[in-house]
C-alpha cells in the first residue's frame, strides 16, 4: 500500500478509492485529467441537434411508458419549445428515474441524438431536474472514476489540489517561451475548468497549448531518463565478445540457405556491439517470419566462441521449447552444450541444470522466465537474448535487468514500431531491423469466409492435406472462460474428425502439460499430425514450414496484432499458403474495420499503423502500444513533432542545466515509475 499524502483532509475511505485510481497525492489529483467534457452551458433546440454530437436539451415530458418487447425498457417522450419530439430510452432504469421523468416534468437531458427506428432518440441521457439552477458557466469535466466516488466529489478534490499546488514549474520561463509552451499549473487549471468560450470539440484537440505542455513534459521526462540510462550503460562494463568465427561458420554452412542481406546487416550490427566493453542494448525487429531466430543464434555463436554463456528466454513454453530444439540441432552437433529450463521442469532436473549453469558446464541455456529466477546463477553469462520481448511483463523485465546489468542484451520483437519512432522513443535502445523476408515465399492469400460456409472450409482442409501439406485450425478466443475455451477446442477436434475421418487431427491448448505440448508439436513438425487444432497458444513463434493453411474461427473477436501473428504461422515454406478467417455475423464496425485491414495487408508495419488509426482518436488521452511503456498524455503517432523537440532538448539540459533535469525527473518519475522499465 502506498501512503497517501494530502495537504487537506481526505477521509480514509476516499483515500482508498483514490488509491484505486493511482491517486496518492495532490500531483496525482492534478494530473487526473478529464476523460471528456460535458457542455451544460447552453440549451440546444431538438430541431437543431446534429446526430453524434452531445447536446443539452430542455423539454417537457409528454408521455412515459415501459415496453417489454424486444426487452424491458423505459421510453420517455419529451417535447421542447421548438415543438420537436424526442424519445429518451433506458434499458436499465430504477423506479426513481421513472419518478424523475413523470409526465409534465420539465427536465434537461444531456446526450447524443440518434435517428432511431421510431424517430429521434437519446439512449441513457444524463438528466437534470434542477432547471431553476440556471446553466453552468464553464464546461463540466468528466473524470475516470471508481464506484462510490462520484463526479462532483472528485471534481471538488481536484479543485482543492489545484489550489494547494505550489506554482513551481520544473522548466524555467525563458525555456518555456522558446518552446511556446504555457506554465504547467496554468495548463492544468485550464484543462480542469476550461473557460466557456472553448467548445467540447476544441478541448479534445491535442493541439491546445495546455495539452501540448503536458505531452511535452511527459515526453521530456521519458527522453531524459532514457538518455541518462544510456549514459549509465555506456559507462558500465561488459566483457567484449569477439569470436574466431569457427562456430558461426559451421552453423551457416549447415543451414541450407543463405542469409538475406537484411539478416546479414543485423548480425553485423550485433557483432560490432558485442565487441564493445559496455553492454549492448539492442532491439532486433523484424516482421513475423523474417528470420530473427538464426540471427540470434549467430549472436549466441559469437558469445560462445568468446568463451561465455548465453541465455535465451522466450515468453511461452512452446516457443522456448522450439528454440531449444533448434539450438540443439544447430549447436549440439558442434559439441556445444545446450540446457533447458522452464517452470515445468521437474525439481531434480532443474537442480541439475542450475548446477550446470553455475559451474559453466552448460554453454547455452534456453527457457522461459524461469531462467531469471533469483536462485539461478551463471558461471560467466555474456549475452542474454529475449524473444518476443514485448510479451514479458514489467516484473520479468526487471528481474532480467537485475541479473544482466553488465551483460549484453539482445531483444527481439515482431511488434512493429516504425523505425524512426523506435529510435527516438527508446533513447536507450539501438534498433536493427530485418526489413525483408527470406526469398521464395509466396504471399499468403487471405480469405474472409462467413462461418455458415464452414463445410467448404473443411473441404479445403482435406484438399490441403491430400497435397501433403498441413493445417492449423485456431479455435475462438473465449476471454470469459478458459474452461469453455478448452471445451470448444475439444468439440472442434471431434467435429473435424467426424467430417474428415481419414486425417490425423491433433489438439494443443494452454492447459496441457508442457511435455504433452512438446509431444504434439513434435508430431506436427514431423507431419504425423496433419491438422493441428489449437487455442491461441500457437500465436507466437511456432515454425512448421510445411503448414500451408491457417483457419481462424471467430476472427472478428481478435485484435489485429494477434491475427497478423497467427497468419504468420503459414507462408513459411515455398508452398502457396492461405489463411481463412471465419467470421460470424453480426459484425461490429470495429470488427469490420479490422478484418478489412488484415484482408488487404500483409506487411506488419502497415497493419500496426492502421491498427493505431482505427483505435486512435478515441484514445487521445494516452496511446498504448504494446512493447512501448505506457504514455498517459502523449500519442506517439500524432505527437512526433513534440517528441522531436523533447529529444533535441534532452541532451542540452543534461549538459547545461542538471538541476532542471533533476527537478523535472523528480516530479515526473514520481508520477510514472513505468517510464523506468523498457
- Please report, as ranges, the residues that interact with ligand ADP according to CB under 6 A: 257, 259-260, 263, 286, 288-294, 414, 438, 541, 543, 545, 572
> Among 243, 541, 571, 627, which residue sits at the site for Mg ion (rule: CB under 5 A)?
541
- Between 366 and 661, CB nearer to ligand ADP: 366
The three-point CA angle 415-420-426 to 5° equals: 70
CA distances from 179 to 213, 220, 253, 517, 646 (A): 9, 12, 56, 57, 10
Minimum distance from CB of 223 to Mg ion (Å)?
30
Residue 288 partner contact from Mg ion, ligand ADP, none using kind-dependent CB cut-offs of 5 to 8 Å? ligand ADP
Binding-residue pattern over the window 498 to 537 for Mg ion, x denoting contact by CB under 5 A: ----------------------------------------
Residue 32 partner contact from Mg ion, ligand ADP, none using kind-dependent CB cut-offs of 5 to 8 Å? none
If residue 652 lies in a helix (H) or strand (E), which one and from where to where? Answer: helix 640-656
Does residue 443 sit in helix, strand or coil? coil
Residue 506 partner contact from Mg ion, ligand ADP, none using kind-dependent CB cut-offs of 5 to 8 Å? none
- Between 315 and 541, CB nearer to Mg ion: 541
Does residue 141 sit in helix, strand or coil? strand
Minimum distance from CB of 294 to ligand ADP (Å)?
5
- Hey, what's the cell of 221? 521526462
Minimum distance from CB of 136 to Mg ion (Å)?
55
Residue 572 partner contact from ligand ADP, Mg ion, none using kind-dependent CB cut-offs of 5 to 8 Å? ligand ADP
Strand positions, DSSP E, 41-144: 54-67, 73-79, 85-90, 106-116, 119-123, 126-128, 140-142
Size of the residue set binding Mg ion (CB under 5 A): 1
CA dist 36 and 173 (Å) reads 30
Does residue 502 sit in helix, strand or coil? coil
- Between 319 and 660, CB nearer to Mg ion: 319
Binding of Mg ion at residue 568 (CB under 5 A)?
no
Length of the chain as a residue count: 678
Concatenated DSSP letters for 516-545? HHHHHHHHHHHTS--EEEE-GGGTTT---T
CA dist 554 and 551 (Å) reads 10
Q: Are 30 and 158 in contact (CB under 8 A)?
A: yes
- Hey, what's the cell of 171? 522548466
- Between 505 and 561, CB nearer to ligand ADP: 561
- Between 444 and 500, CB nearer to Mg ion: 444
Minimum distance from CB of 265 to ligand ADP (Å)?
12
Minimum distance from CB of 114 to ligand ADP (Å)?
45
- Between 438 and 616, CB nearer to Mg ion: 438
Q: Are 286 and 265 in contact (CB under 8 A)?
A: no
What does residue 633 show for φ and ψ, rounded to 5 degrees? -110, -40
Stretch that binds Mg ion, among 2-10, 258-266, 521-529, 539-547 (CB under 5 A): 539-547
Minimum distance from CB of 296 to ligand ADP (Å)?
8
- Between 182 and 438, CB nearer to ligand ADP: 438
- Between 285 and 342, CB nearer to ligand ADP: 285
Minimum distance from CB of 263 to Mg ion (Å)?
13
Concatenated DSSP letters for 204-250? T-TTSHHHHHHHHHHHHHHHHHHHHHHHHHHHS--------SHHHHH
Residue 171's nearest CA partner among 180, 161, 160 is 180
- Hey, what's the cell of 46? 431538438
Minimum distance from CB of 263 to ligand ADP (Å)?
6
Minimum distance from CB of 290 to ligand ADP (Å)?
4
Q: Are 364 and 251 in contact (CB under 8 A)?
A: no
Minimum distance from CB of 323 to Mg ion (Å)?
8
Minimum distance from CB of 248 to ligand ADP (Å)?
14
- Between 199 and 264, CB nearer to ligand ADP: 264
Residue 616 partner contact from Mg ion, ligand ADP, none using kind-dependent CB cut-offs of 5 to 8 Å? none
Residue 627 partner contact from Mg ion, ligand ADP, none using kind-dependent CB cut-offs of 5 to 8 Å? none
Minimum distance from CB of 609 to ligand ADP (Å)?
19
Nearest residue relative to Mg ion (C-beta): 541
Residue 291 partner contact from ligand ADP, Mg ion, none using kind-dependent CB cut-offs of 5 to 8 Å? ligand ADP
Q: Are 104 and 116 in contact (CB under 8 A)?
A: no
- Between 259 and 357, CB nearer to ligand ADP: 259
Residue 385's nearest CA partner among 405, 407, 370, 356 is 407
- Between 157 and 295, CB nearer to ligand ADP: 295
- Between 19 and 576, CB nearer to ligand ADP: 576
Minimum distance from CB of 166 to Mg ion (Å)?
51
Minimum distance from CB of 259 to ligand ADP (Å)?
5
Nearest residue relative to ligand ADP (C-beta): 291
- Between 127 and 314, CB nearer to ligand ADP: 314
- Between 40 and 287, CB nearer to ligand ADP: 287
Residue 382 partner contact from Mg ion, ligand ADP, none using kind-dependent CB cut-offs of 5 to 8 Å? none
Residue 543 partner contact from Mg ion, ligand ADP, none using kind-dependent CB cut-offs of 5 to 8 Å? ligand ADP
Minimum distance from CB of 107 to ligand ADP (Å)?
59
Q: Are 446 and 567 in contact (CB under 8 A)?
A: yes
Neighbouring residues of 526: CB distance < 8 A, sequence distance ≥ 6: none
CA distances from 211 to 33, 99, 676 (A): 10, 42, 23
Residue 474's nearest CA partner among 535, 525, 547, 520 is 535
Burial tier of 616 (Cβ tally within 10 Å: 0-12, 13-18, 19+): middle
- Hey, what's the cell of 119? 424517430
- Between 107 and 537, CB nearer to ligand ADP: 537
Strand order across the 364-367 sheet: 338-341, 364-367, 309-313, 381-386, 408-413, 281-286, 430-434
Helical packing angle, 317-331 and 514-526, nearest 10°: 60
The three-point CA angle 202-205-208 to 5° equals: 85
Q: Which residues pair with 283 in a beta bridge?
A: 411, 431
Which residues are at the interface with Mg ion (CB under 5 A)?
Answer: 541
Amino acid at each position: 500500500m502506498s501512503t497517501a499524502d494530502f495537504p487537506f483532509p481526505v477521509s480514509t475511505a476516499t483515500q482508498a478509492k483514490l488509491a484505486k485510481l493511482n491517486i496518492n497525492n495532490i500531483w496525482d489529483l492534478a494530473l487526473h485529467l478529464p476523460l471528456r467534457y460535458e457542455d451544460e452551458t447552453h440549451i440546444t433546440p431538438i430541431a437543431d441537434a446534429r446526430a453524434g454530437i452531445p447536446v443539452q436539451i430542455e423539454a417537457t415530458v409528454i408521455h412515459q411508458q415501459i415496453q417489454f418487447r424486444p426487452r424491458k425498457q423505459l421510453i420517455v417522450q419529451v417535447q421542447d419549445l421548438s415543438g420537436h419530439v424526442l424519445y429518451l430510452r433506458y434499458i436499465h432504469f430504477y423506479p426513481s428515474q421513472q419518478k424523475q421523468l413523470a409526465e409534465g416534468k420539465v427536465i434537461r437531458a444531456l446526450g447524443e441524438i440518434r435517428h432511431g427506428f421510431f424517430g429521434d432518440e437519446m439512449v441513457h441521457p444524463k438528466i437534470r431536474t434542477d432547471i431553476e439552477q440556471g446553466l453552468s458557466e464553464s464546461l463540466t469535466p468528466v473524470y475516470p472514476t471508481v464506484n462510490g466516488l462520484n463526479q462532483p466529489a472528485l471534481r471538488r478534490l481536484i479543485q482543492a489540489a489545484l489550489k494547494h499546488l505550489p506554482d513551481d514549474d520544473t522548466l524555467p520561463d525563458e525555456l518555456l517561451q522558446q518552446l511556446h509552451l504555457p506554465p504547467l499549473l496554468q495548463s492544468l487549471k485550464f484543462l480542469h475548468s476550461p473557460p466557456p468560450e472553448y467548445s467540447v470539440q476544441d478541448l479534445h484537440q491535442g493541439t491546445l497549448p495546455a495539452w501540448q505542455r503536458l505531452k511535452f513534459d511527459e515526453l521530456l521526462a521519458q527522453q531524459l531518463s532514457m538518455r541518462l540510462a544510456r549514459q549509465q550503460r555506456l559507462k558500465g562494463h561488459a566483457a567484449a565478445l569477439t569470436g574466431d568465427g569457427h562456430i558461426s561458420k559451421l552453423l551457416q554452412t549447415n543451414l541450407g540457405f543463405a542469409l538475406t542481406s537484411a539478416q546479414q546487416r543485423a548480425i553485423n550490427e550485433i557483432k560490432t556491439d558485442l565487441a564493445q566493453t559496455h553492454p549492448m542494448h539492442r532491439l532486433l525487429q523484424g516482421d513475423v517470419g523474417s528470420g530473427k531466430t538464426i540471427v540470434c543464434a549467430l549472436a549466441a555463436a559469437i558469445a560462445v566462441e568468446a568463451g561465455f554463456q548465453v541465455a535465451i528466454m522466450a515468453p511461452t513454453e512452446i516457443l522456448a521449447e522450439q528454440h531449444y530444439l533448434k539450438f540443439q540441432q544447430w549447436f549440439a552437433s558442434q559439441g556445444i552444450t545446450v540446457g533447458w529450463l522452464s517452470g515445468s521442469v521437474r525439481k531434480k532436473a532443474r537442480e541439475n541444470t542450475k548446477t550446470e549453469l553455475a559451474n559453466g558446464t552448460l554453454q547455452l541455456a534456453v527457457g522461459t522466465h524461469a531462467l531469471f529466477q533469483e536462485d539461478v546463477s551463471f558461471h560467466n553469462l555474456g549475452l542474454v537474448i529475449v524473444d518476443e520481448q514485448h510479451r514479458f511483463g514489467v516484473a520479468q523485465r526487471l528481474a532480467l535487468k537485475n541479473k544482466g546489468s553488465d551483460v549484453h542484451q539482445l531483444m527481439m520483437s515482431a511488434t512493429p514500431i516504425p523505425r524512426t519512432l523506435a529510435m527516438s522513443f527508446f533513447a536507450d535502445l539501438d534498433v536493427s531491423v530485418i526489413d525483408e523476408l527470406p526469398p521464395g515465399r509466396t504471399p499468403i492469400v487471405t480469405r474472409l469466409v462467413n462461418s455458415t460456409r464452414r463445410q467448404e472450409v473443411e473441404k479445403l482442409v482435406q484438399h490441403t492435406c491430400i497435397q501433403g501439406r498441413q493445417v492449423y485450425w485456431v479455435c475462438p478466443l473465449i476471454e470469459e472462460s478458459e474452461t469453455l475455451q478448452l471445451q470448444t477446442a475439444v468439440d472442434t477436434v471431434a467435429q473435424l474428425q467426424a467430417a474428415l475421418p481419414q486425417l490425423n487431427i491433433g489438439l494443443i491448448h494452454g492447459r496441457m502439460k508442457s511435455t504433452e505440448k512438446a509431444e504434439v508439436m513434435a508430431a506436427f513438425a514431423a507431419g504425423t499430425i496433419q491438422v493441428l487444432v489449437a487455442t491461441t497458444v500457437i500465436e507466437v513463434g511456432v515454425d512448421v514450414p510445411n503448414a500451408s493453411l491457417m483457419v481462424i474461427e471467430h476472427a472478428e473477436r481478435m485484435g489485429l496484432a494477434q491475427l497478423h501473428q497467427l497468419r504468420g504461422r503459414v507462408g513459411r515454406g515455398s508452398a502457396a499458403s492461405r489463411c481463412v478467417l471465419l467470421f460470424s455475423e453480426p459484425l461490429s464496425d470495429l470488427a469490420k474495420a479490422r478484418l478489412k485491414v488484415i484482408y488487404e495487408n500483409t506487411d506488419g508495419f502497415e497493419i500496426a499503423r492502421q491498427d493505431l488509426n482505427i483505435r486512435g482518436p478515441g484514445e487521445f488521452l494516452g496511446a498504448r502500444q504494446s512493447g512501448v511503456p505506457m504514455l498517459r498524455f502523449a500519442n506517439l503517432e500524432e505527437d512526433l513533432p513534440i517528441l522531436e523537440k523533447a529529444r533535441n532538448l534532452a541532451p542540452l539540459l543534461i549538459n547545461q542545466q542538471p538541476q532542471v533535469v533533476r527537478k523535472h525527473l523528480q516530479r515526473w518519475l514520481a508520477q510514472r515509475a513505468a517510464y523506468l522499465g523498457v
